[in-house]
A and B are shown apart, each in its own frame.
Chain A
Amino acid sequence: MTESLATIGTRPLPEETHSCWSCGSMRAAHFCESCGKVQPPQPVDYFAFFGLPPKLNLDVATLEKDFYELSRRLHPDLNARGGSRVQEWSLEQSSMLNDAYRTLRDPIKRTEYLLHLEGMELEEQSKSATEQARATGEVKKQIVPPDLLEEVFELNMQLEELRTQKKMGEDDPALIEEIGKQKLALEEKHEALLDELKAGWKAWDALIDRGSAANAVERAQITGQMVDVLNRRNYIRNLVRDVNEALES
């Protein structure tokens, strides 16, 4: 994972402009409002890059509009005639713009990014992490959510049976139907967890709105809950992926 370059609360927002390297106007952020020149990139996080508070409910349509507007200023194609410094800054600024937009427009990626800024680590649930653990024989940092323990155990047994049957060229419609039902139940859980996550967003945003009144304990509690929901959600997503693979193979 990438590391944040600044912590929340200490970074300059784009509204906080500085003096332009080219014309000296004080109205420069990513680019200068007066002369249009691209400015050296500032080490800010993705929210701050868009001049946003670090809140989890955001209007994607506005974000898209801002993304297009900033692209028209920062993209290397439109700065190709600048000197080598301008070209370098334009490349860095527009890659940051693209990275930030890609992360923030997706609510799950946005949440994961915020949790990362808050110093929280998610479990490694990615497929490559699974493969890596398998290949190196390491134990993967992944815990079965306690409330799913029983179901997962049963489902894994059934999947094992299905794989064995498939190897033998047999076909058990009843087993396939049973697995299908379980998959459906998992997908419903996956959806329900999104609602839980949304509750987390609301709580977090309220906390940010209160500003300095928010205390660290509360902060850690809300982010901790979101980490838990995301871990469970990712776990279920991977389980569904395994089921699909077993059914399709």
Chain B
Amino acid sequence: MSSDHIVGIDLGTTNSLVAFMQGETPVVIPGEDGSNLVPSVVALDAGNQPVIGNAARNLLIETPERAVYSIKRLMGRGVEDIQEELKLFPFRVAEDLQPGEVLRIRLGDKTFTPPEISALILRQLKRNAERYFGEAVTKAVITVPAYFNDAQRQATKDAGRIAGLEVLRLVNEPTAASLAYGLDKKQNGIVAVYDLGGGTFDISILKLHDGIFEVIATNGDTHLGGDDIDNLLITIALDDIRGDLGIDLRRNAEAVQAIRKAVIDAKIALSAQPSVKLDFELPGGKRYQREITREQFEQLIQPIIDRTVGPCKQALKDANLKPEQIDEVVLVGGSTRIPKVRALVKEMFRREPHTDLNPDEVVALGAAVQAVILGGGSQATQNMLLLDVTPLSLGIEVAGGVTDKIILRNSTIPASATQFYTTQIDGQANVAIHVLQGERELAKDCRSLARFDLKGIPPMAAGIPRVEVKFLIDANGILNVSAREQRSGKQADIQVQPSYGLTDEQVEGMILDSFDNAEEDFRRRQVIEARNEAATILAALDKGKKSVAWAELTSDEKKQIARMEKVLVAAKDEDDYQAIRQAIDALNQGTMRLAELMMDTAVSSALKGKKMDETDLGEGPTPPHPMAPPEFQ
């Protein structure tokens, strides 16, 4: 197996996934618990060690003050623009935040920036992939909502770096989904991708042309998703409880998390059945019970899902298309399982939407396809190329606090614009540039991306220097700026102060923290995993020896197996995982005939009229596979 696996990662608000191309098919890599989805929840255990995914979800209910979820909502944002989020989500912002400092979230008595928390999730996905391949994974394609701005993208890229991943490309989620769909439907036409996830909404309209996936327009809302529905139901329950019982549970984090779990279960159930009973225990032993019909639920969520209509209309307008001109509609994101959402999409685009691929997995699968394209392509991805756009206009602040747009939204990326600057006073050495992103006319209504200081302009009379500044949005949708003083030909020095985000030095520091142990961690994990596998195969061999098939082996065969068994038992206690693996492989080879004989026995008993599952199959040695032993309850 090549040591250069590039994985595709969907870093979601609610769940995250990692996928890769197995031959010509993208597949999701399951975690140790066998689950494809890793809940985007991070918690600290009693020993202050980070726990991620399903395990963290349990801690979220037991020790909510040591856990965090939906961190994606805070990526690339400042403390002043998350006030709404703070009302609805139990984010515990660090008290000692300095003005202008990157947001930090408290878990227990430690604090983490949103990119660090996302990095913990990414590192878990990285480990899952490494476990699957049995090799280190260092390169990834990570998806982001199409409507993510520069700061949110940069924060995602930082998270990748902190997790020890080289992020080869950020891909927009709806575009990634279209790649996964496009893989087996090589056709031309206009496709709309409606992506309503846990916390973000995107609509993208693409033109498919002989393998080129050209995004024509995109729009969305980075704070709209299933979370909003959950919060609505939680608020109703909390109000009920306060009204009827006179207890306010808002400050009781554990109770709120228990309620959150119950309403999410109810929400999911309502996609399949006409009514559901919301039923959970309250502190003190009383139960909250409430019947919710689908009709009531649909009424309740109407205002939320209606918020997707505006962006869809705007995207159609920007693409200069009428709904009838859309050939296919694709649904992405868990929230599109809600029948009412499907009905809304059908009404808007006058077309039955596609749902053939799992809406939770399709983005990660598409990211895996893009990973192969970046890696040089394969038979399946031949001729495939993504041409994406920037979702928001890029502007600079000019006199009077006005935004002068220099790269318009929906421009195909990479895209660039050049501006010329001069000085106002004699001998002026610095020029400040304020870069903005957004559609509004006034700078204060747009998103401040960064302030650039052009430094080291050679001393000249006012108005004489001519500084050429090139703004370039790369294929990740991230802004790069370069400047040159034209009269002197000198490269001007640019100092960037990102309005929201980590500096390079900060990111470096965070990487080192986790990198110091990375190699050691990886080796230790490999050893543990190899030992687990050894235990499984040895146990299987024990069962095999008790089966009827064992008697059919020659004594030479039995001797050989015994020898191999001894080697493995010895290797198992050493720290050399490669030796353990070799011994496992050898034993696997050596017991091949035993396994075959056991299968034959099983088949012949089936022929005798017994059902397969009644036959005492015994347990053949299983070949090494990525899945952990299943649990039975």
Contact = CB atoms under 8 A, between A and B. Distances in A.
Interface of A: 2-3, 68, 71-72, 75-78, 80-81, 91-92, 94-96, 98-99, 101-102, 127-128, 131-132, 134-136
Given A75-B475, A91-B475, A128 B413 contact: no
A83 to B, nearest CB: 14
A132 B442 CA distance: 9
Contact of A128 (B210, B387, B398, B472): B398
B405 interface: yes
**Which 7 A-B residue pairs are closest in the complex by CB-CB distance?**
A135-B400, A95-B414, A132-B402, A136-B400, A80-B374, A98-B412, A95-B416
A76 B387 CA distance: 10
30 contacts: A3-B418, A3-B420, A3-B468, A68-B209, A68-B210, A71-B387, A76-B474, A77-B169, A77-B373, A77-B385, A77-B475, A80-B169, A80-B375, A81-B374, A91-B474, A92-B472, A94-B414, A94-B475, A95-B413, A95-B472, A95-B473, A96-B416, A98-B413, A102-B411, A128-B404, A128-B441, A132-B398, A132-B400, A134-B400, A135-B400
Contacts of A91: 414, 472, 474-475
B285 interface: no
B600 to A, nearest CB: 49
Contacts of B413: 95, 98
B245 interface: no
B465 to A, nearest CB: 15
B416 A76 contact: no
B168 interface: yes
A131 B398 CA distance: 10
Interface string B401-435: 11111000001111111111000000000000000
Contacts of A131: 400, 402, 441-442
Nearest to A101: B412
Interface in B350-407: 370, 373-377, 383, 385-387, 395, 398-405
B212 interface: yes
Nearest to A81: B376
Interface of B: 168-169, 209-210, 212, 370, 373-377, 383, 385-387, 395, 398-405, 411-420, 441-442, 468, 472-475
A208 to B, nearest CB: 26
Given A76-B475, A95-B415, A128-B404, A68 B212 contact: yes
A92 B472 CA distance: 9
A172 B210 CA distance: 55
B551 to A, nearest CB: 56
Contacts of B420: 3
A71 B210 CA distance: 13
A68 B376 CA distance: 18
B442 A75 contact: no
Contacts of A78: 373, 377, 385
A154 to B, nearest CB: 27
Nearest to B169: A77
B439 to A, nearest CB: 11
A80 B168 CA distance: 8
A41 to B, nearest CB: 11
Contact of B412 (A80, A92, A102, A127): A102
A3 B466 CA distance: 12
B375 A127 contact: no
A132 B404 contact: yes
Contacts of A92: 472
Contacts of B385: 71-72, 75, 77-78
A101 B415 CA distance: 11
Question: Of A78, A95, A101, A134, which is in contact with the most chain B CB atoms at under 10 Å from its CB?
Answer: A95
A101 B405 CA distance: 19
Given A71-B212, A132-B399, A132-B400, A99 B415 contact: yes
Nearest to A65: B209
Contacts of B386: 77
B399 A136 contact: yes
